[in-house]
Structures are given as C-alpha cells and as structure tokens.
Amino acid sequence: MGLNGLYIPSFNKTINYGLGYSLPKSFKIIGSAHNLTEIITKQKQKCDEIFLSPIFKVDKSKNYLDISRFNLIALNSKVDCIALGGINQKNIKKIGLLKSKGFASISWAKKNGLSKLRPF
C-alpha cells in the first residue's frame, strides 16, 4: 500500500506486529504508553518510538509522570521516547530537562500556534 509507518495505541496489546512481513527500511512503528508495563509491551511490539503521556498534570487524568519519572523511564528504555501531555505556557521551559527525542502538544499548539515553539 506504500505506507511509511504504523501507530499502535496504548490499549492495543497484540504482540505480533511486523513479524511475518518484509518492511522497508524507512518504515516506522510508533506506539503510545502511560506506564512501565505498557512500555514493555511496546518494546515487544518492536516500536521505534514511544509517546509517553501525560508528562505534566492534565484535567483528564489523576496520574502523570513528571520530569524525574519520565527521565528514569526514557533512560532505561531501549527505544526513543517522546513527551506528550500537559505541555502548556507554564511548563514549556521544563521540556529541556527531559531526556526525550522530542515533544508533542496538540491543544497548546492549536491554541497558541506553532510560532511560539520555534526557538526549540
């Protein structure tokens, strides 16, 4: 089909992605996780990158990782981690303290535009 990647959400626990198929070298498998058990599942699914969320406090969830827990998970993980969730104007400067490959913020970017993120 000419696809260049696959996204596996955190609730999907199936392990056998890409095991019987020949994939191009540029094909990326990206997953999302919220805790350590989901990260282990994503590593078994052979994800190239993992979105870890939420990093900072959000209204939708009582639990969040914060900087120290995110860094412990990212340093002990075999795949690249991307910070996601709770990023806003108050904590955008804390992103530099994270051991992440990148970060993503949907609602804040929609509200403020990408011009405020350009210095990164």
Give the C-alpha separation, 81 to 98, whole Å: 10
- The CATH number of the domain holding residue 77 is 3.20.20.70
Q: 86 in the Ramachandran plot: left (φ > 0), alpha (ψ -120 to 50) or beta?
A: left
Provide mean pLDDT across the span 86-102.
79
Q: Is residue 21 part of a domain?
A: no
Q: Is residue 34 part of a domain?
A: yes
Q: Is residue 45 part of a domain?
A: yes
Contact (Cβ atoms closer than 8 angstroms) between residue 41 and residue 15? yes
Q: Is residue 19 part of a domain?
A: no
Q: Domain range holding 92?
A: 5-11+28-117
Model-wide pTM > 0.85 = no
Q: Is residue 107 part of a domain?
A: yes
The structure tokens listed for 17 are 């992605």
So what's the pLDDT on residue 19?
A: 55
Give the C-alpha separation, 63 to 112, whole Å: 25
- What's the number of domains the chain is made of? 1
Q: Is residue 100 part of a domain?
A: yes
Angle, alpha carbons 84-87-89 (nearest 5°) = 160
> Per-residue confidence at 110, pLDDT binned at 50, 70, 90?
low
SS3 assignment, position 51? strand
